[in-house]
């Protein structure tokens, strides 16, 4: 080891020690936020909001402190001593990007946003249960005020928009212009496909999903499915919450939640599989690099590619139901003929425009996302007043999905994201759908007949393929490079549209044109 390399190693140890402290503060925030949604008594929210604000302030202060900047600068100055293939070069570039961005945010704004978002999420849950948008509107207005303040602090990119300043936290490199073009390509194609499927004479029957299954049986099935797909319960938990989500502190402590409905088996099952996809990604990140880019997800779009891949390409496949249907009958003690693999798979393929995004089928899901993206930009820019949101939302659902919104609980109050301050998040679901389809094409090319493997309960080969191509790289590679390296092509719409048409047209008795 040369003296200069030795100097880098010492600087790197000092830098990672500082980042480790920040990671532990962030982990404490994550656990408090998880507990708020799962176990915390309703009246505990005020103090919990203060605690979250304090931890957010402490984490931010440490990240933008001159001492960390000095260590980061020293490592950059000595990085030329590293071997070309040393991934710490890429980690330093990613850390520099994050550091430059975070330095633009006043610590007071970070703390206030954490406090308001905690209070707003509690207000949203109460308002949603009571179908009372008016009580939530002041909190939503405050959340968007703070989002505008953050965007102003970051600065609008040259030739970009205010929203672009926020999306960088979720999908580095994305822009409103790019996403409008993407939705401009997808929405007409998907809308035309949906109209054709809904008008089909031989539509799949979805009665199988509505056969009553006791909640205890659903919970037992959910745990068995999660374990079979690869979720490690020695390093993770499955709990209940009003809105399913994934949280935790690092690869060895991953928390996923779901919800159950006696009248709809698919509500819990597909929510669980979706969150398992997120959980598998988190458990697949290098635990020893927690708090560093190598131990963190590349982007929310890549994260959603994992959840949507397992939910739709695996969980809605005929092979999955060949394996799962007997287990459903076992847990439910069911002899109902509708609890049959063919009937359940066909129920999973039925296309029907609906009100609720998380319950949406594959063909209509991105139409929900398109609505939220366009409205979010209008709210952020102040072109849409907060009190006009329900009217705007209902009109968009009528126009794009052809459904009438009966109440705000099933309309603009259905998602937790805006109350949590996640402005810029929603399009990552569609980016995830596109990436999932491309990844599955590449995986099938290498692994062969995956549907038959799923029918035998063999999910491990796919998980290991994702571990190699996605999980192991953390955020060392950009999301764009991850997809290009794994699939051989940049992210596009072709694989996703091919997936929809090849599965759903035959299921509805229609020929491909």
Rounded Cα distance, 171 and 491, in Å = 13
Q: Taking Cα atoms as reference points, which of 474, 477, 36 lies closest to residue 282?
A: 474
User: Residue 163 corresponds to which tokens in the numbers above?
Assistant: 């929203």
Rounded Cα distance, 45 and 51, in Å = 10
Rounded Cα distance, 237 and 275, in Å = 11
Rounded Cα distance, 475 and 19, in Å = 15
Q: Which of 171, 275, 304, 362 is flagged as catalytic?
A: 275
Q: Taking Cα atoms as reference points, which of 272, 209, 215 lies closest to residue 246?
A: 272
Coil, helix or strand at residue 240 = strand
Look at phi and psi of residue 353 and say left if phi exceeds 0, alpha if psi is from -120 to 50, else beta: beta
> Residue 100's CB: how many other CB atoms inside 10 A?
11
Identify whether the C-beta of residue 443 lies closer than 8 Å to the C-beta of residue 487: no
| Cβ-based neighbours of 337, under 8 Å, separated by 6 or more | 343
Q: DSSP letters of 19-49? A: HHHHHHHHHHHHHHHHHHHHT--GGGHHHHH
Is residue 275 part of the annotated active site? The answer reads yes
User: Residue 122 corresponds to which tokens in the numbers above?
Assistant: 């509690």
The H-or-E segment that residue 255 falls in is: strand 253-258
319: burial class by Cβ within 10 Å (0-12, 13-18, 19+)?
Answer: buried
Q: DSSP letters of 47-113? A: HHHHHHHHHHHHHHHHHS-HHHHHHHHHHHHHGGGS-TT-THHHHHHHHHHHHHHHTTS-HHHHHHH
| Cβ-based neighbours of 167, under 8 Å, separated by 6 or more | 174, 175, 176, 424, 427
At residue 27, what are phi and psi to the nearest 5 degrees? -65, -40
Packed helices 365-381 and 176-198: angle between N→C axes, nearest 10 degrees: 140
End-to-end CA distance of the chain: 64
Q: Taking Cα atoms as reference points, which of 123, 115, 125 lies closest to residue 139?
A: 123
So which residues are the catalytic ones? 275
């Amino acid at each position: 080891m040369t003296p200069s390399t030795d100097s880098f190693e010492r600087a790197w140890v000092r830098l990672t020690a500082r980042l480790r402290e920040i990671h532990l503060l962030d982990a404490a925030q994550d656990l408090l936020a998880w507990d708020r949604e799962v176990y915390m008594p309703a009246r505990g929210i005020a103090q919990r909001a203060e605690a979250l604000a304090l931890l957010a302030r402490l984490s931010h202060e440490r990240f933008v402190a001159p001492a960390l900047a000095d260590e980061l600068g020293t490592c950059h100055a000595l990085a030329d001593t590293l071997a070309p293939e040393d991934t710490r070069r890429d980690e330093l570039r990613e850390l520099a990007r994050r550091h430059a961005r975070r330095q633009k945010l006043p610590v007071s704004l970070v703390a206030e946003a954490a406090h308001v978002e905690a209070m707003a999420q509690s207000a949203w849950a109460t308002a949603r249960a009571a179908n009372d948008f008016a009580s939530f509107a002041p909190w939503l207005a405050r959340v968007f005020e703070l989002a505008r303040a953050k965007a102003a602090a970051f600065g609008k990119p040259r030739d970009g928009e205010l929203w672009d300043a926020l999306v960088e936290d979720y999908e580095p490199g994305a822009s409103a212009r790019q996403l409008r073009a993407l939705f401009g390509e997808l929405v007409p194609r998907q809308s035309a496909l949906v109209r054709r499927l809904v008008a089909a004479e031989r539509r799949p029957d979805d009665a199988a999903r509505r056969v009553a299954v006791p909640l205890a049986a659903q919970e037992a099935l959910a745990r068995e499915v999660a374990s079979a797909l690869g979720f490690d319960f020695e390093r993770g938990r499955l709990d209940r919450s009003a809105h399913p989500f994934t949280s935790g502190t690092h690869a060895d402590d991953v928390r996923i939640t779901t919800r159950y409905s006696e009248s709809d088996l698919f509500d819990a099952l597909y929510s669980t599989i979706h969150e398992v996809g997120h959980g598998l990604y988190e458990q697949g990140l290098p635990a020893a690099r927690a708090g560093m880019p190598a131990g963190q997800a590349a982007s929310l779009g890549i994260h959603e590619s994992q959840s949507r891949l397992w939910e739709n390409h695996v969980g809605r496949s005929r092979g999955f139901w060949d394996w799962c249907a007997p287990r459903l009958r076992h847990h439910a003690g069911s002899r109902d003929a509708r609890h049959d693999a063919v009937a359940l798979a066909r129920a999973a393929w039925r296309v029907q425009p609906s009100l609720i995004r998380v319950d949406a089928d594959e063909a209509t899901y991105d139409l929900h996302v398109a609505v939220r993206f366009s409205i979010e930009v209008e709210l952020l820019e102040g072109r849409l007043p907060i009190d006009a949101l329900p009217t705007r939302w209902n009109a968009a659902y009528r126009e794009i999905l052809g459904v009438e919104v009966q109440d705000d609980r099933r309309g603009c109050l259905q998602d937790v994201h805006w109350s949590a301050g996640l402005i810029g998040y929603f399009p990552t679901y569609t980016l995830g759908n596109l990436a999932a389809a491309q990844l599955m094409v590449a995986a099938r090319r290498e692994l062969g007949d995956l549907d038959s493997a799923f029918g035998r309960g063999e999910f491990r080969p796919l998980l290991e393929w994702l571990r190699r191509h996605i999980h192991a790289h953390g955020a060392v590679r950009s999301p764009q490079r991850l997809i290009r390296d794994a699939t051989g092509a940049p992210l596009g719409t072709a694989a996703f549209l091919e997936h929809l048409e090849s599965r759903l047209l035959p299921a509805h008795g229609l020929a491909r044109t």
